[in-house]
C-alpha cells in the first residue's frame, strides 16, 4: 500500500486561492498563447516536438497539421472555459440541440477564421517554408451525417456561437461516419471511413462525466414508503456513455460553445460478474456488443431502416443528453419549477423523439414529480423540427421491439397517449377518425409507435424548414394536429453559415466583396444587398468573372486528378450535387444530357454552348434505384466524353465521394445550380442556398426554399420550370400515365429507347432496363417525364442567357447580393426569439 496522501481541504478557501493563483499564472506577460506571428511559430515548433515527438526530418504533413491544430486549440481554451463560466455565473437559459447527425467537415480552417488566427498562422508557417493549405488538406472530414439534415446542424452550431447564444449540440461520436464512396466500373462501392484512425485534434474526452444507460429488462410496479405508486426498471443491461467535447468557436466574438458527442463504453459492473465466473471471453464479447452502439452512422438519408441497433443509438444518446441536462440544472436549482425557463431542447427530426418519454421517466420515476407537473415541464421544454413529408422517412417502431428495448418508455408512451386522447375526447376537439390518425400508437396487425406524433404531442413548437414545407405540413401530414393546436406550428426557413460557405470556401469572392462593402456582411448577411449597384459596374463584373474562372480552374484540377477528364474552363459549369434520391430527380438531369448527346449525333448543325455537367452524391447502400442512377451518369459520361463527334460541346463527370470538403470546392465553381425536385418533395434544401450565395444561377422547380430564393433574387434572375404542387396533385388525381408522355414527346421516346437498347451500355444492352421500367411501367412516381419538356425548354433559356456574359454576370451578382436571408444566423435568431426564448450572453 502506498502511504496515504494527507487529505487536502477542498473548501471554498482552497478553491479561491487556487483560482487567484491560476489567474496570476495565466496573466503572465508573453503568455504562451499570445497570437503574434512569433509566438504562433513557437507554438507550432513546441507542439511538433512535445505533442508529436517529431523534428523537421521525421515530421510528416499530418504531424505538422496536428501541431497547427493544437496551437489553434490552445488559443480557444481560455475562451471556452470563460464561456462556460459566463453561462454558469449568469445562470443563463441554455439551448440543447439534439441531433443524431452533425456533418461538420474539417475544423481547422474554420477555427482559424472564426478566432481570427488565419493570417497570423499562415505567415508563421510560410516563414518555415510551409504552406498552410497543404496542412489543412491533411485533416479528415468529420462526416457524422448523411446530407442536408446533418449539415444544417453543423451550420446551426456555427451561428449559435457567433450569435453568443448559450448552446450545446448533443450527438453520437460515431467511430465510422458516412462511408467513403468509390466508383468502380461506374458503380458505387462503399468503404468504411476511419476518420479517427490518427485521432482527432479537437475532441476532449471527459471520462469524469460518464453516464450510465439502461436498456432491455422489465418494469416493476411498487408502493413506496409514502404509499405512492411507483415504477422501477429492473434486470436491465447497462452501457456507459462517455462524452467527447468539441469546441465550437463563434466568428468575431469570444464565445466557444460545446458539441458533446457520446461514445458507448462497456459497463464495468457487468463485466465483473462474468470475470468472476471465470468466463473471460464472453465478458469481452459482451463489451464489444455494448460498444457497437456508437460504432457506425446509419447511411440512409430520408428512409428508415427499423433496426434494433438504431433504436439503441437513439435512446443511448437521448438518455446521456437528458441526464447531462438535468444534472446541469440541478447544480444551480433545487427543483424543476424553473426548468423550462432555463432549458430549451430542440429535436432535429424525430430521431431524438424518445427524449419526450425519457424526460418524463427521469422526472416521474427518478425525481418523484407528479405526472401532470412533469408533463407541463416536458411540453414547455421541447421543440420539434420536421424535415420531410416523405412517407418512407416517417419513423415508426413496432410496439414489440420498442417494449423489448425500452420497457418503461413503452408504458410512458402509452400513458402519454391515453391522457392525450382522453383530453381531446373530453373537450370534443376531434372526431374518431382524427383521433386515430393523431394517436401515438398506430393500431393494426402490428402495432407501431409513431415517433412524429410523439414529438408533436410532447412539444410546444413544431416547425417546418421552408415556407412551402410548413404550409404542406399543416395541410397534409399534421392536418389534424394543426386543427387542434394551430398555435404550435411555425416556420423556420433553413439557412447556411456564410463563414464556411462564402468566406472559407470562396476566399476570392469574399475578398472582392469585403473590398467594396466592408466586412459587416460576415455577421449580417443582409449587408450583401449593398452589392446590388455593383451589378451595373463593368469593372466589378470583370473581377467577379475572373474569380469564378479561378474557382472553376481549382475544381478542374480535382476532376483531372480524380476522373482523368480535362474540363473546358470556358464551358458552362452545370452542377447537381446532393444525396442521390429519385425525388431529387438526378434522372431528369442525366436523361436530358443523354438526349442532348443523341441530338448532337443526329443533327450535325446543332451547336449548343459548350457545357460541363457535374454530378455528385452518395446513394444509400440498400437503395437500388439510386445506385442505378449513379451507374447511368457514369455510363453516359463514358460514352459522351469519348465520342469525338461531340468533343468540346458536352462533358460529363461524376465526382466521387461528395462531402463537405469537396462541396467547398464545388459551390464556388458552379454557374448553374440544379434544384429540380418534384414540387412538394424537397422540404427546404440548403445546397440551393450555397450555390446562390456563390453566384450560381438556379434552374429549379417551385419546391422547398427555391420558392423563397426566387422571391429574394427576383423571378428574372431565376430559371423556373415544372409542375407546381397543385399541378402535381391534379395530374396524379386525374391518373398520370407516363406512356402518354413517351408516345407524344419525340425526345423522351428517343432517349428512353436509346437507354433500353444499350446505347449507353455497350456490350450490356439490357443494363438500364430497371430505370426505363420504373419510368414507364413503375408509374414514374416523381413525374420525370411530365416535367421533361419544360426542363429542356428552360435549359435553352439558360443557354441563351449565358451567351450574354455581361447579362449573366449581372444576374449572378444579384444572386449573391440578395441571398442574405439564407444565412443560418437569421434562422437561429428566429429560433432563439420565437421558439426558445433564449437571449445571448456576451463573453469577454
The answer to whether residue 578 is catalytic is yes
- Name residues whose C-beta falls within 8 Å of residue 385's C-beta, 6 or more positions apart in sequence: 346, 347, 348, 349, 462, 463, 464, 465, 492
Which residue out of 75, 93, 265, 387 is catalytically annotated? 387
CB of 587 to ligand PLP, least distance (A): 16
Q: Which residues, numbered 677-706, are part of the site for ligand PLP (CB under 6 A)?
A: 685-687, 690
CB of 703 to ligand PLP, least distance (A): 11
294 binds ligand PLP (CB under 6 A): no
Candidate ranges 144-152, 182-190, 250-258, 521-529; the one touching ligand PLP (CB under 6 A): 144-152
- The residue (of 465 and 835) whose beta carbon lies closer to ligand PLP is 465
Question: CB-based burial of residue 460 (10 Å sphere; 0-12 exposed, 13-18 middle, 19+ buried)?
Answer: middle
Contact 264, 237 (CB under 8 A): no
Task: Show the site string, 70-109: x = touches ligand PLP by CB under 6 A, - = not.
Answer: ----------------------------------------
Contact 101, 297 (CB under 8 A): yes
What is residue 57's three-state secondary structure?
A: coil
Candidate ranges 123-131, 439-447, 518-526, 656-664; the one touching ligand PLP (CB under 6 A): 656-664
- The residue (of 302 and 636) whose beta carbon lies closer to ligand PLP is 302
Which residue out of 260, 396, 584, 611 is catalytically annotated? 584
- For the sheet with 448-450, list strands across it: 396-398, 448-450, 441-442
- The residue (of 363 and 660) whose beta carbon lies closer to ligand PLP is 660
- The residue (of 579 and 656) whose beta carbon lies closer to ligand PLP is 579
The answer to whether residue 482 is catalytic is no
Between strands 572-577 and 611-616, the pairing is parallel
Q: Which residues, numbered 196-215, are part of the site for ligand PLP (CB under 6 A)?
A: none
The answer to whether residue 387 is catalytic is yes
Task: Show the site string, 535-574: x = touches ligand PLP by CB under 6 A, - = not.
Answer: ----------------------------------------
299 binds ligand PLP (CB under 6 A): no
d(C-alpha 785, C-alpha 739), whole Å? 9
Between strands 142-144 and 102-105, the pairing is antiparallel
Q: Find the binder of ligand PLP among 80, 86, 87, 148 (CB under 6 A).
A: 148
Candidate ranges 454-462, 654-662, 694-702, 822-830; the one touching ligand PLP (CB under 6 A): 654-662
Question: CB-based burial of residue 476 (10 Å sphere; 0-12 exposed, 13-18 middle, 19+ buried)?
Answer: exposed
Contact 477, 496 (CB under 8 A): no
**How many residues line the site for ligand PLP (CB under 6 A)?**
13
Which residue out of 75, 351, 541, 690 is catalytically annotated? 690
The β-bridge partners of 96 are 168, 345
147 binds ligand PLP (CB under 6 A): yes
- The residue (of 219 and 819) whose beta carbon lies closer to ligand PLP is 819
Contact 795, 801 (CB under 8 A): no
Q: Find the binder of ligand PLP among 450, 578, 656, 821 (CB under 6 A).
A: 578
407 binds ligand PLP (CB under 6 A): no
656 binds ligand PLP (CB under 6 A): no
- The residue (of 396 and 499) whose beta carbon lies closer to ligand PLP is 499
CB of 387 to ligand PLP, least distance (A): 11
Q: Which residue is nearest to ligand PLP (CB)?
A: 687
CB of 579 to ligand PLP, least distance (A): 6
The β-bridge partners of 214 are 238
Contact 772, 738 (CB under 8 A): no
- The residue (of 403 and 687) whose beta carbon lies closer to ligand PLP is 687
Task: Show the site string, 613-652: x = touches ligand PLP by CB under 6 A, - = not.
Answer: ----------------------------------------
CB of 611 to ligand PLP, least distance (A): 20
179 sits in the region (left: phi over 0; alpha: psi -120 to 50; else beta) called beta
CB of 741 to ligand PLP, least distance (A): 26
The answer to whether residue 39 is catalytic is no
Q: Find the binder of ligand PLP among 67, 161, 567, 663 (CB under 6 A).
A: 663
d(C-alpha 385, C-alpha 492), whole Å? 9
Q: Which alpha helices (H) appear in 642-724, and where do they start and end?
A: 660-666, 687-693, 706-713
- The residue (of 480 and 712) whose beta carbon lies closer to ligand PLP is 712
All three cell numbers of 835: 421558439
Contact 152, 117 (CB under 8 A): no
All three cell numbers of 303: 428512409
CB of 473 to ligand PLP, least distance (A): 18
d(C-alpha 388, C-alpha 382), whole Å? 19
CB of 671 to ligand PLP, least distance (A): 16
- The residue (of 340 and 704) whose beta carbon lies closer to ligand PLP is 704
Contact 374, 361 (CB under 8 A): no
d(C-alpha 218, C-alpha 407), whole Å? 6
Q: Which alpha helices (H) appear in 166-224, and where do they start and end?
A: none
- The residue (of 166 and 685) whose beta carbon lies closer to ligand PLP is 685
CB of 523 to ligand PLP, least distance (A): 21
d(C-alpha 791, C-alpha 701), whole Å? 9
Contact 126, 799 (CB under 8 A): no
Q: Find the binder of ligand PLP among 79, 94, 151, 474 (CB under 6 A).
A: 151
CB of 659 to ligand PLP, least distance (A): 5
660 binds ligand PLP (CB under 6 A): yes
Contact 113, 280 (CB under 8 A): no
- Name residues whose C-beta falls within 8 Å of residue 119's C-beta, 6 or more positions apart in sequence: none
Q: Strand ranges (DSSP E) for 114-176?
A: 142-144, 167-172
The answer to whether residue 581 is catalytic is no
Candidate ranges 145-153, 283-291, 329-337, 561-569; the one touching ligand PLP (CB under 6 A): 145-153
Concatenated DSSP letters of 568-595: -TTSEEEEEES---GGGTHHHHHHHHHH
d(C-alpha 598, C-alpha 603), whole Å? 9
CB of 816 to ligand PLP, least distance (A): 17
Which residue out of 578, 592, 631, 656 is catalytically annotated? 578
CB of 494 to ligand PLP, least distance (A): 8
- The residue (of 233 and 691) whose beta carbon lies closer to ligand PLP is 691
- The residue (of 343 and 709) whose beta carbon lies closer to ligand PLP is 709
The answer to whether residue 732 is catalytic is no
CB of 705 to ligand PLP, least distance (A): 9
3-class SS shares of the chain: helix, strand, coil, % to 5: 55, 15, 30
Question: CB-based burial of residue 646 (10 Å sphere; 0-12 exposed, 13-18 middle, 19+ buried)?
Answer: buried
Which residue out of 93, 173, 579, 818 is catalytically annotated? 579
Q: Name the DSSP letter for residue 47.
A: I
- The residue (of 69 and 660) whose beta carbon lies closer to ligand PLP is 660
Which residue out of 686, 698, 701, 819 is catalytically annotated? 686
What is residue 222's three-state secondary structure?
A: strand
659 binds ligand PLP (CB under 6 A): yes
For 190, 636, 653, the CA distances from 631, given in Å and listed in that order, are: 14, 9, 12
- For the sheet with 719-720, list strands across it: 650-655, 611-616, 572-577, 672-675, 697-700, 719-720
From the list 51, 169, 35, 177, the residue with the least C-alpha distance to 106 is 177
Candidate ranges 128-136, 233-241, 527-535, 658-666; the one touching ligand PLP (CB under 6 A): 658-666
* Catalytic residue set: 387, 578-579, 584, 686, 690
Residue ranges binding ligand PLP (CB under 6 A): 147-148, 151, 578-579, 658-660, 663, 685-687, 690
Amino acid at each position: 500500500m502506498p502511504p496515504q496522501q494527507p487529505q487536502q481541504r477542498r473548501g471554498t478557501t482552497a478553491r479561491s486561492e487556487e483560482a487567484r493563483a491560476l489567474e496570476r499564472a495565466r496573466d503572465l506577460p508573453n503568455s504562451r498563447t499570445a497570437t503574434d506571428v512569433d509566438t504562433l511559430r513557437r507554438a507550432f515548433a513546441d507542439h511538433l516536438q512535445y505533442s508529436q515527438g517529431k523534428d523537421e526530418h521525421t515530421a510528416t504533413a499530418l504531424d505538422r497539421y496536428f501541431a497547427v491544430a493544437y496551437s489553434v486549440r490552445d488559443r480557444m481554451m481560455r475562451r471556452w472555459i470563460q464561456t462556460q463560466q459566463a453561462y454558469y455565473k449568469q445562470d443563463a437559459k441554455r439551448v440543447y440541440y439534439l441531433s443524431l447527425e452533425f456533418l461538420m467537415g474539417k475544423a481547422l480552417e474554420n477555427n482559424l477564421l472564426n478566432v481570427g488566427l488565419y493570417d497570423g498562422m499562415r505567415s508563421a508557417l510560410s516563414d518555415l517554408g510551409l504552406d498552410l493549405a497543404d496542412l489543412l488538406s491533411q485533416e479528415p472530414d468529420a462526416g457524422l451525417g448523411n446530407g442536408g439534415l446533418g449539415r444544417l446542424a453543423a451550420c446551426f452550431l456555427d451561428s449559435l456561437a457567433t450569435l453568443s447564444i448559450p448552446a450545446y449540440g448533443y450527438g453520437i461520436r460515431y467511430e465510422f461516419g458516412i462511408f467513403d464512396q468509390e466508383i468502380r466500373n461506374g458503380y458505387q462501392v462503399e468503404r468504411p471511413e476511419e476518420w479517427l484512425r490518427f485521432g482527432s485534434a479537437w475532441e476532449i474526452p471527459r471520462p469524469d462525466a460518464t453516464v450510465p444507460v439502461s436498456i432491455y429488462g422489465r418494469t416493476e410496479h411498487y408502493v413506496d414508503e409514502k404509499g405512492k405508486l411507483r415504477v422501477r426498471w429492473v434486470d436491465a443491461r447497462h452501457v456507459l456513455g462517455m462524452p467527447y467535447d468539441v469546441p465550437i468557436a463563434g466568428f468575431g466574438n469570444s464565445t466557444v460553445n460545446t458539441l458533446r458527442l457520446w461514445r458507448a463504453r462497456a459497463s464495468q459492473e457487468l463485466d465483473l460478474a462474468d470475470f468472476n465466473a471465470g468466463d473471460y471471453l464472453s465478458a469481452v464479447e459482451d463489451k464489444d456488443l455494448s460498444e457497437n452502439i456508437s460504432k457506425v452512422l446509419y447511411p440512409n438519408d430520408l428512409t428508415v431502416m427499423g433496426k434494433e441497433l438504431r433504436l439503441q443509438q437513439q435512446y443511448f444518446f437521448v438518455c446521456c443528453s437528458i441526464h447531462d441536462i438535468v444534472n446541469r440544472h440541478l447544480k444551480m436549482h433545487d427543483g424543476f419549477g424553473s426548468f423550462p425557463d432555463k432549458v430549451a431542447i430542440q429535436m432535429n427530426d424525430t430521431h431524438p423523439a424518445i427524449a419526450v418519454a425519457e424526460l418524463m421517466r427521469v422526472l416521474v420515476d427518478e425525481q418523484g414529480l407528479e405526472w401532470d407537473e412533469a408533463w407541463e415541464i416536458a411540453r414547455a421544454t421541447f421543440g420539434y423540427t420536421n424535415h420531410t413529408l416523405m412517407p418512407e422517412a416517417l419513423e415508426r417502431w413496432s410496439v414489440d421491439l420498442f417494449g423489448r428495448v425500452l420497457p418503461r418508455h413503452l408504458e410512458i408512451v402509452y400513458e402519454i397517449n391515453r391522457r392525450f386522447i382522453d383530453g381531446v375526447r373530453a373537450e370534443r376537439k376531434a372526431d374518431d377518425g382524427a383521433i386515430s390518425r393523431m394517436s401515438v400508437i398506430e393500431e393494426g396487425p402490428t402495432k407501431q409507435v409513431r415517433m412524429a406524433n410523439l414529438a408533436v404531442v410532447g412539444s410546444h413548437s413544431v416547425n417546418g424548414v421552408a415556407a412551402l414545407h410548413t404550409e404542406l405540413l399543416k395541410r397534409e401530414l399534421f392536418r389534424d394536429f394543426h386543427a387542434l393546436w394551430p398555435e404550435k406550428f411555425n416556420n423556420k426557413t433553413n439557412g447556411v453559415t456564410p463563414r464556411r460557405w462564402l468566406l472559407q470556401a470562396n476566399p476570392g469572392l469574399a475578398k472582392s466583396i469585403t473590398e467594396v462593402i466592408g466586412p459587416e456582411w460576415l455577421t449580417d448577411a443582409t449587408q450583401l444587398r449593398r452589392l446590388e449597384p455593383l451589378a451595373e459596374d463593368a469593372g466589378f463584373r470583370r473581377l467577379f468573372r475572373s474569380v469564378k474562372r479561378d474557382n472553376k480552374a481549382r475544381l478542374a484540377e480535382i476532376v483531372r486528378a480524380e476522373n482523368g477528364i480535362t474540363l473546358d474552363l470556358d464551358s458552362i459549369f452545370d452542377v447537381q450535387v446532393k444525396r442521390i434520391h429519385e425525388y431529387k430527380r438526378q434522372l431528369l438531369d442525366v436523361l436530358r444530357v443523354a438526349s442532348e448527346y443523341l441530338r448532337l449525333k443526329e443533327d450535325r448543325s446543332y451547336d449548343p454552348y459548350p457545357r460541363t455537367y457535374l454530378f455528385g452524391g452518395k446513394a444509400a447502400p440498400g437503395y437500388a434505384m439510386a445506385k442505378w442512377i449513379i451507374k447511368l451518369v457514369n455510363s453516359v459520361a463514358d460514352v459522351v466524353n469519348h465520342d469525338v463527334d461531340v468533343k468540346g460541346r458536352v462533358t460529363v463527370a461524376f465526382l466521387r465521394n461528395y462531402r463537405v470538403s469537396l462541396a467547398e470546392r464545388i459551390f464556388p465553381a458552379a454557374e448553374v445550380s440544379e434544384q429540380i425536385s418534384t414540387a412538394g418533395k424537397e422540404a427546404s434544401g440548403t445546397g440551393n442556398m450555397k450555390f446562390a450565395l456563390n453566384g450560381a444561377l438556379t434552374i429549379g422547380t417551385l419546391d422547398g426554399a427555391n420558392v423563397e430564393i426566387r422571391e429574394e433574387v427576383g423571378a428574372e434572375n431565376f430559371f423556373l420550370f415544372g409542375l407546381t404542387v397543385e399541378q402535381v396533385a391534379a395530374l396524379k388525381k386525374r391518373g398520370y400515365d407516363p406512356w402518354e408522355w413517351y408516345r407524344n414527346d419525340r425526345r423522351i421516346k428517343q432517349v428512353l429507347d436509346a437507354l433500353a437498347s444499350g446505347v449507353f451500355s455497350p456490350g450490356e444492352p439490357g443494363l438500364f432496363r430497371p430505370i426505363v421500367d420504373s419510368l414507364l411501367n413503375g408509374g414514374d412516381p416523381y413525374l420525370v417525364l411530365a416535367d421533361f419538356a419544360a426542363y429542356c425548354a428552360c435549359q435553352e433559356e439558360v443557354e441563351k442567357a449565358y451567351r450574354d456574359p455581361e447579362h449573366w454576370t449581372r444576374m449572378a451578382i444579384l444572386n449573391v447580393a440578395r441571398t442574405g436571408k439564407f444565412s443560418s444566423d437569421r434562422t437561429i435568431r428566429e429560433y432563439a426569439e420565437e421558439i426558445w426564448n433564449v437571449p445571448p450572453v456576451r463573453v469577454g
